[in-house]
Amino acid sequence: MKWAGGKRQLLPELSKRVPRRINRYFEPMIGGGAFFFSLSPRNAYIADINSELINTYEVIRDRLPELLRALKKHHHNEEYYYTLRNIDRSGNFKQWGPVKRASRLLYLNRTCFNGLYRVNSRGEFNVPFGRYKNPRIIDEGNLRACSLLLQHVEIQTASFESVLDKARTGDFVYFDPPYVPLNSTSNFTSYIEGGFDENMQRALLGVCMRLDKNGVKFMLSNSSAPLVLELYNNFKIESVEASRTINSKANGRGKVKEVIVTNY
């Protein structure tokens, strides 16, 4: 899935920093999962606080034939898009089953403006229609490959703190949080109602410190904002250049400085 903050542009930098030997891979802020799918670990745990996203991964893993049939029922126009988008404003959405919800999310991801996932304070998807001539709603080959990889992966709707109960010495954790904003146009923290504020960034640091104390290796991506440099000044911080393709303003896209933090 296309995802704000997705790591496709940063994959070479991330991949070369992965420890040579790891017992189990953890990614508790999975998002679009670009790094996870690139790495293709055989023994892994993925999680996210976004229950709709996690439901989609579970359906891809466990009920792919049903999902493919559901995706084929979609048609594409602006009226249909807003009807499907706004269904989460009604009580009916809570009655939808896992496959139907996953199909909706994948359709919206492929057809909304910039492929951005964003919700309001009530948890309602609020991204406008994307004017694509022929969006690829069904990528069957990719979905089958993802389903195959996910067969032996533990998937949970959970916060990033969940790794503290699971990760052990010799394991490896990758964190990709919503970035600390560099300016007023770069704040994409509304993946869930409530967003991801400075208190959450500090809580994430606390998790990293406990993992480090327990002998668990971690890697974390974030912006080069002063707050990030301050929080992680006791760990190894490396500056890298990345491309950003999702921004609320076109002139906000392009090359940006980011940091990769590690404890090894």
- The rounded distance, in Å, linking the Cα atoms of 253 and 57 is 28
Residue 1: its pLDDT value, please?
80
Q: How many CB atoms lie within 10 A of CB 124?
A: 15
In this predicted structure, what is the pLDDT of residue 5? Answer: 66
> What would you report as the CA-atom Rg of the chain, rounded to the nearest whole angstrom?
18
Written as six digits, the tokens of 217 are 């290796």
Residue 236 — φ and ψ, nearest 5°?
A: -75, 125
Query: Domains of the chain by range and CATH?
Result: 1-49+158-188+196-264 (3.40.50.150), 56-123+133-152 (1.10.1020.10)
Q: How many CB atoms lie within 10 A of CB 120?
A: 10
168-171: long-range contacts (C-beta < 8 A, 24 or more apart)?
168/23, 168/24, 168/214, 168/215, 168/216, 169/214, 169/215, 169/216, 170/21, 170/22, 170/23, 170/24, 170/215, 170/216, 171/22, 171/23, 171/24, 171/25, 171/26, 171/216, 171/217
**Cα–Cα dist 262/259, whole Å:** 10
* 197 half-sphere exposure, CB direction, 13 A CA radius: 3
Evaluate the CA torsion angle 230, 236, 242, 245 in order and state its sign. negative
Give the β-pairing of 217-223 and 172-175. parallel
**Per-block mean pLDDT, blocks of 10 residues, the chain (264 long):** 76 96 97 95 96 98 99 95 96 93 97 90 93 92 97 97 97 96 62 75 98 98 97 98 63 77 99
Contact 259, 239 (CB under 8 A): yes
Note the pLDDT of residue 247.
53
What count of Cα atoms within 13 Å lies in the side-chain half-sphere of residue 123? 9
Exposure letters 212-224 (e unless 16+ CB within 10 A, then b): eeeebbbbbbbbb
pLDDT of residue 86: 97
Q: Looking at this protein, which amino acid is placed at residue 212?
A: D
Please check whether residue 161 is in contact with residue 202, taking contact to mean a CB–CB distance below 8 angstroms.
no
- State the Cα–Cα distance between residues 24 and 44, nearest whole angstrom: 6
pLDDT confidence of residue 96: 96
Per-residue confidence (pLDDT) for residue 33, from 0 to 100: 95
